[in-house]
Amino acid sequence: MSRPNYVCRICSEHFTRKYSAYRHNSNIHNGRSEIVPYIEYMVGRSSGRYLASDPSWHRKQRQLQVNRSYPSDNRVIADSSFRPETLLQPLPAALPNSQTTIQQKLEELRILAAKFSFPEDARKILEWANIRLRQGDEGLLNDKLEQFRMLDRQGWLPI
């Protein structure tokens, strides 16, 4: 594999060709991302300017978005990771104090996501956090809260 020359600022996916990076930006992020040179990205990561991200998360988000839009040629792209039963499960039974803490964390995540993300991305982050909470997993909620808190502490300007 060749050495990466460009990186997507939002999802950290790397590319060897500039046109591939810009095609990715328009197809996956609707042109809202910034494509940066690899060396600039690495310096930004070490200084805390760019946060690490998993490119597959954005790919799955795009697949879900395509599934909902139903293309005009009647193709439907299946997403095997979607489980409708997870949407119907109630939040796990918890002590009243921990339930209040989860609600407080969700409210803080809603505020910070609205401050530092595009509205569509903020909605998706909250949606995924709720799905994972119904499965009994607070990991995504805590990870995203920590990322946004770090941006807030570092004085990043809101979108």
> Position of tokens 């299946």?
78
Give this prediction's pTM: 0.40
User: Is residue 128 included in any domain, yes or no?
Assistant: yes
Question: Domain range spanning residue 115?
Answer: 85-159
User: Is residue 36 included in any domain, yes or no?
Assistant: no
Element (H, E) at 110: helix 96-116
Using alpha carbons only, give the angle 148, 153, 154 rounded to the nearest 5 degrees: 100
User: Between the CA atoms of 111, 117, 123 and 126, what dihedral angle is there, to the nearest 10 degrees?
Assistant: -60
User: Is residue 125 included in any domain, yes or no?
Assistant: yes
Check: CB of residue 146 under 8 Å from CB of residue 52.
no
Q: What count of Cα atoms within 13 Å lies in the side-chain half-sphere of residue 20?
A: 9
* Model pLDDT for residues 118-137, shown as the tens digit of each residue: 888 888 888 888 888 888 88
Q: Return per-residue pLDDT of the chain as tens, 159 residues.
A: 578 889 988 888 889 999 999 998 888 888 888 899 988 888 888 877 777 666 565 555 555 555 554 444 555 555 555 555 555 555 555 444 466 688 888 888 888 888 888 888 888 888 888 888 888 888 888 888 888 888 888 877 766
DSSP 12-39: --EESSHHHHHHHHHHHSTT-S-EEEHH
Return the pLDDT at 70. Answer: 47
User: Is residue 49 included in any domain, yes or no?
Assistant: no
User: Is residue 33 included in any domain, yes or no?
Assistant: no
Rounded Cα gap, residues 13 and 2, in angstroms? 14
Strands (E), the chain: 6-8, 14-15, 35-37
Q: What are phi and psi of 15, to 5 degrees?
A: -140, 150
User: Is residue 17 included in any domain, yes or no?
Assistant: no
* Model pLDDT for residues 9-29, shown as the tens digit of each residue: 888 888 999 999 999 888 888
User: Is residue 102 included in any domain, yes or no?
Assistant: yes
User: Is residue 45 included in any domain, yes or no?
Assistant: no
**Residue 83 to residues 13, 15, 89, 93: CA-CA distances in angstroms?**
26, 32, 11, 21
What is the number of structural domains in the chain?
A: 1
